Amino acid sequence: MLYIECPWCGFRDDEEFHYGGEAHIQRPTDPNELNDEEFSEYLYLKSNPKGVILERWLHSRGCRRWFNVLRNTVTNEITEIYPIDTLPNSKEGTEYYGQNWRRKSSVEKTIKPREYK
């Protein structure tokens, strides 16, 4: 059972949280501009790496806030937790974010870049 440090409430058992899937999949600015294939990529294609992943969690039985987590899918080690509207800070997280296939996808190019804090 994971032990997750909610940025607002501190360490809690994972039964207080809900998993929210891959982080940093931004909704297209205007989905109508995407063709079916591109829209399917946004809707259905998810990263499934062996190793580091950036993902979203919700402290559903606590403060009900969303936040982002850097987790290793092999060891379940959590190395960074950061607010939902920011990018990762750690070297590992920044590298993963920069090298993720989504950064090169045509879908993301249609999105007005979010202003991360």
Partner 1 sequence: MNKQLFRVKDLGQVDRSKPLRFKFDGKFFVGYRGDTLASALLANGIHLVGRSFKYHRPRGILSAGAEEPNALVQVGEGNGTDPNTRATQIKLEDGLIVKSQNRWPSLLLDLGYINNLLHRLLPAGFYYKTFMWPSSWWMRYEYWIRRIAGLGEAPKGADPDRYEKTHAHCDVLIVGGGPAGLGAALAAGKTGARVVLVDEQDSFGGSLNSNTDCTVDEHTTLDWRKRTLAILEGMPEVILLNRTVATGYYDHNFLTLLETVSPGQQNQSEYKTRQRLWKIRAKRVVLATGALERPLVFKDNDRPGIMLSASMRAYLNQYGVSPGNRVLLFTNNDDAYRTAISLKENNIPIAGIVDLREDPTGELVDRIRHEGITLYPGYAIVSTTGHLRIKSVRIMKLNDDGTKVIGNAKDITCDSIGMSGGWNPTVHLFSQSGGKLEWDDKFERFLPKIANQPLISIGACNGTQSLSDCLKDGLKAGAESARATNNKGRAPGTPRVVESKCNDERAIWIIPRENSYKKNGKYFVDFQNDVTASDISLAAREGYRSVEHLKRYTTMGMGTDQGKTSNVTALAILGETLGTTAPNIGHTTFRPPYTPATIGAYAGRNVGALFDPIRTTAMHEHHEKFGAKFEHVSQWMRAWYYPKPNETMQQTINREVKAARDSIGLLDASTLGKIDIKGLDAAEFLNRIYTNSWLKLAPGKARYGLMLKEDGMVMDDGVTTHLNSNHYHMTTTTGGAASVLDWLEEWHQTEWPDLDVYFTSVTEHWAVASICGPNCRSLLAELAPELDLSDEAFPFMTVKEGDVAGIAARIFRISFTGELSFEINVPRRYGLALWQALIEKGEKYDICPYGTEAMHVLRAEKGFIIVGQETDGTVTPHDLGMDWIVSKTKNDFIGKRALSRSDMLKSDRKQLVGLLNENENEVIPEGSQIVEMLQPSPPMAMIGHITSSYYSPNCNRSIAMALIKGGKARIGKTLHIPLKNKTIKVKVTDTLFLDKNKELTDG
Binding site for partner 1 (CB under 8 A): 1-3, 13, 18, 20, 26-28, 30-32, 34, 36, 39-40, 43, 56, 58, 60, 64-66, 75-76, 78, 84-85
CA separation for the pair 61, 84 (Å, rounded): 18
Shortest distance, position 91 Cβ to partner 1, whole Å: 22
**Shortest distance, position 3 Cβ to partner 1, whole Å:** 4
Q: How far is the CB of 96 from partner 1 (least distance, A)?
A: 19
C-beta separation of 67 from 83 below 8 A = yes
- DSSP state for residue 113 in the 8-state scheme: P
Given a contact cutoff of 8 angstroms between Cβ atoms, the answer to whether 53 and 92 are in contact is no
Which DSSP letter does residue 81 get?
E
Is 36 or 48 the residue whose CB approaches partner 1 more closely?
36
